[in-house]
Amino acid sequence: MLMPTNEAELAEMIRAATGPLSVRGGNTRGLAGPGAPLGVGAISGIGLYEPGALTLVARAGTPLADIEAALAAENQGLPFEPMDHRGLLGTEGTPTIGGVIAANVSGPRRIAVGAARDFLLGVRYVDGAGTVIKNGGRVMKNVTGYDLVKLMAGSHGTLGVMTEVALKVLPRAETAATVVLGGLGAGAGVAAMSAALGTPYEVSAAAYDPATGEAMLRIEGFAASVAYRAERLADVLSDHGKAELRDGAQSQALWRDIRDVAAFRGTDGDVWRISVKPGDAPAFLDAVAPDAALLDWGGGLIWARMPEGADLRRRAGAFAGHATLVRGTGATRATLGAFHPQPSPLAAIAAGLRQRFDPRGILNPGLMG
Amino acid sequence: MEMPVPNPAVLARKSRLVERLQKVLPPDAVIFDEAETRAYECDALTAYKCPPMLVVLPSTTQEVSDVLRICHQEGVPVVPRGSGTSLAGGALPTADCVILGVARMNEVLETDYANRVIRVQSGRTNLSVSGAVEEEGFFYAPDPSSQLACAIAGNIAMNSGGAHCLKYGVTTNNLLGVTMVMMDGTIVEIGGAHLDSGGLDLLGLICGSEGQLGVVTEATLRILRKPEGARPVLIGFDDNEVAGACVSDIIKAGVLPVAIEFMDRLCIETTDKFAKAGYPDCNALLIVEVEGSEAEIDAQLDTITEIARRHDPVELRQSKSPEESAKIWLGRKSAFGAIGQINDYMCLDGTIPVSSLPFVLRRIGEMSEEFGLEVGNVFHAGDGNMHPLILFDANKPGDLELCEAFGAEILKLCVEAGGCLTGEHGVGIEKRDLMTVQYTPEDLEAQMAVKDVFDPAWLLNPAKVFPLAVSQARRDPAPAAA
Ligand SMILES: Cc1cc2nc3c(=O)[nH]c(=O)nc-3n(C[C@H](O)[C@H](O)[C@H](O)COP(=O)(O)OP(=O)(O)OC[C@H]3O[C@@H](n4cnc5c(N)ncnc54)[C@H](O)[C@@H]3O)c2cc1C
């Protein structure tokens, strides 16, 4: 495996490459395609961390765990709560910050504070021609030139290989509690979440588990404030059902499991991740009839477990949103495609961008359509 | 500020263009009379003016598509325009361009409280988006000070921010989808009421692209439920540095205010004089606002007050009522207007790491003496977005140029300190030539490659963002060999 230890070496390797490169951080997210493996893991280390400015700059191969530990020491964290794919996919390895950003991995809090891309302040990357490029910076507000920072987030290594990322971080909440309403069908579950998210009580996560019929609503902040808002929320939602409170370690474990889709761990079948308008989720579930499902983001994110090889997109018919095959055999990926096909004008723009950023088509070819 | 020489071949096609545009637009939507096009000769960067060749005011996405297809065929540059409040000259015309104004497209297309989104035509003003959902207790978070006038179209093009973005983010963090027309007339839909637009983040790319990639005609925006309440505390210090340290300590303490605003002595005194804000006599003033229930607000303000006390403030005023809140905000909100009363001024917009605040303020003070021009500082301290206001005399020959040179030095200082040229106003023509301070030729090439993909002929707002010399070959692929 090609293992550059710094940006200059990486640029050299990309320039020297004669065929496809399969770019990877810790390779825990099951995305590595064909080509010569190119690992970014040795381009590692936190370069700058200023808690008072809420900014952290790290090289792309830095283990996520190192970043989380450094932040935890200052009582801060990555607000977008990236999931750990290892349990779900049965992969091993060390998740890196570069991988998190490249796949725009965002967890339950995405609905309240934004996705990984919303916390990315700047990037350095090497494009497909081996040129080092930077965009953005390390300050919180920056509209200088085009926002290639957003473009790189979620580009899955198809436009360039990131070497450094600058992130906005936030203080960790002092405490969290979860208001749980039980006995709800999918329609009622989504309705309860919508009602909760439409209150001023700053719900930081909203999930619904069809298996238990429970809608779960998380409140975070200073202890007194959490207690107050949880009570108000339970009150406001009394029409939707009787509320129960889970706090402390119980609440924490619950959201970690939702974030990592723990319920699908060790199961058979394909796993799909679908983004829809929350209100469309119940009908979507009816249409695709999954073996199991989990709703996050107030219903806007559907995790669906399907029989191996089943074409979820066909079962769904035309819908506003997109469905990604997160777990599936090579054959299923080959037939159905992991990424949602895009309408032709957008696909043409995406192809044009790839052509310009990677003229030889060597960076993760085949990924992202 | 240099602008490209108008293309005589384009000017010569004016009457044919008018004829073609009149076939796809209502008669009053094509403006070609010179007395009338003059109304579009500048935006809020009024030092630069140039009437366009034509102005069109379409009412639908289809009309926009028809206009762009025709301009594309005729090889005519198009400058999109919202409300013309850009401070960077983003909507400044060239003499051979068509101004495409979206002001007539101001409808609300859909409000959806259950899914917390609103879909509007892009010419709708920022404030009236919040106005449309206010009755149900919702609001649209990004709140530029120009919100009464500026359009969502301009907000998207500039990725505008506002006083509350410390908590709620800027436009790009609140934009879920757009309908956009490409220069060749193709209509595209990006994103929608769902989260994350799917595929490459084209939505993120378009937001902040200053009207150079496509014309946005409709937008899906995230709306939020209003907080139960909000109240500020005013803190006065004798020293800028101490104020900066206090900001950093507040942030570290885990309180997340909605806004932390900073004013220096010149701004404090001027606003006090003109707005009668009753501000204390001090060198630096912070206004920190928090949200929540009454009890939550009190608790947060107490924490902030406690932190502030450790820094020996000369004044601490915790608001207890809406009246007191309004009084605290009065001076800050009228700062630009008040300074405008005493002088002509140029407003800069660089961002710096919060930690460099004391250093940068000190340097600006020194440079102010070197240039012999006064500077007032009022800015969003929580995120390091500075707004130095350089005072000059527009009637004094050479003063504008001196002021621009000073401004450029301040922006370079921001970049040196680890920051950037513009935090929310955009590059436009104003900061175009400074782009090379922040970016290498390769960095700029990567950005221009994006425009090549969206607008291969470089017809959309072509003379902005990139230094003219750098974009020359793309804007004007000279056929004649030297
Ligand atoms: C007093 C004052 C206070 C201000 N305060 C703030 C502030 O607090 N925060 C802040 O961020 N800004 C502020 N601004 C700057 C300005 O208001 C913003 O940049 C605003 O977003 C511009 O909107 P507009 O509709 O006026 O756009 P315009 O000035 O008309 O155009 C701005 C840019 O958008 C492009 N554009 C317009 N319409 C479209 C479209 N349909 N499709 C594609 N591109 C388009 C134009 O080509 C141009 O490049 C302030 C300005 C003033 C005058």
> What would the pLDDT profile of A34-73 be if each residue is shown by its tens digit?
899 999 999 999 999 999 889 999 999 999 999 999 999 9
Distance of alpha carbon A154 from alpha carbon A152, whole angstroms: 6
- Residues of chain B with pLDDT below 50 are 479-482
Place of tokens 């009363």: B341
| Interior angle at CA A234, CA A228 and CA A240, nearest 5 | 165
Q: Does domain A262-336 have CATH number 2.40.30?
A: no
Helix axis angle for A223-236 and A186-197, nearest 10°, is: 130
Distance between Cα A72 and ligand 1 center (Å): 39
Residue pLDDT, tens place only, B285-326: 999 999 999 999 999 999 999 999 999 999 999 999 999 999
Average pLDDT over residues A226-242: 97
Q: Which of B64, B92, B97, B150 to mutate to test the pocket of ligand 1 (most atoms within 8 A of CB)?
A: B150
Give the number of the atom of ligand 1 that is nearest the alpha carbon of residue B44. Answer: 53
Residue of B nearest to A105 (CA): B196
Residue A189's nearest CA partner among A155, A163, A214, A157 is: A214
Q: Compute how many other C-beta atoms are within 10 angstroms of the C-beta atom of residue B366.
A: 9
- For ligand 1, residues with CB inside 6 Å are B 43-44, 79-87, 90-91, 102, 122, 144-146, 150-151, 153-155, 157-158, 160-162, 210-211, 215-216, 336, 424-426, 461
- A262/A30: higher pLDDT: A262
H or E segment and range at residue A146: none
Q: Is the pLDDT of residue A90 over 80?
A: yes
Distance between Cα B80 and ligand 1 center (Å): 11
Distance of alpha carbon B241 from alpha carbon B426, whole angstroms: 28
CATH number for domain A175-259, candidates 3.20.20.70, 3.40.309.10, 3.30.70.100, 3.40.190.10: 3.30.70.100
Residue intervals in chain A for CATH 3.30.465.10: 7-171
Average pLDDT over residues A330-337: 93
Average pLDDT score, chain A: 97
For the record, the structure tokens of A278 come out as 């929350």
For residue B317, what are the contacts with CB-CB under 8 A and spacing of at least 6? Answer: B233, B234, B235, B324, B328
Distance of alpha carbon A208 from alpha carbon A221, whole angstroms: 22
Residue A343: its chain B contacts at CB < 8 A? 188-189
Distance of alpha carbon A152 from alpha carbon A124, whole angstroms: 10
What pLDDT does B342 receive? 85
Asked if A200 and B228 come within 8 Å (Cβ–Cβ), the reply is yes
Average pLDDT over residues A167-192: 97
Percent of chain A with pLDDT over 90: 97
Residue B163: its chain A contacts at CB < 8 A? none
Helix axis angle for B265-275 and B322-333, nearest 10°, is: 110
Asked if B435 and A110 come within 8 Å (Cβ–Cβ), the reply is no
What pLDDT does A247 receive? 93
Helix axis angle for A344-357 and B441-454, nearest 10°, is: 150
- For A117, list phi and psi in degrees, rounded to 5: -60, -30
Return the CATH architecture of domain A7-171: 2-Layer Sandwich (3.30)
Residue intervals in chain A for CATH 3.30.70.100: 175-259
Distance of alpha carbon B10 from alpha carbon A296, whole angstroms: 54
What pLDDT does B338 receive? 87
Decide: residue A355, CB within 10 A, 0-12 exposed, 13-18 middle, 19+ buried.
Answer: middle
Average pLDDT over residues A258-264: 98
Residue nearest to atom 13 of ligand 1 (CA): B144
Residues 355-374 of B with CB under 8 A from A: 355
Measured CA distances, B376 to B85, B294, B331, B336, B338 (Å): 22, 34, 14, 10, 11
What pLDDT does B478 receive? 57
Distance of alpha carbon A264 from alpha carbon A293, whole angstroms: 9
Measured CA distances, A321 to A305, B113, B120, B175, B190 (Å): 18, 19, 19, 15, 10
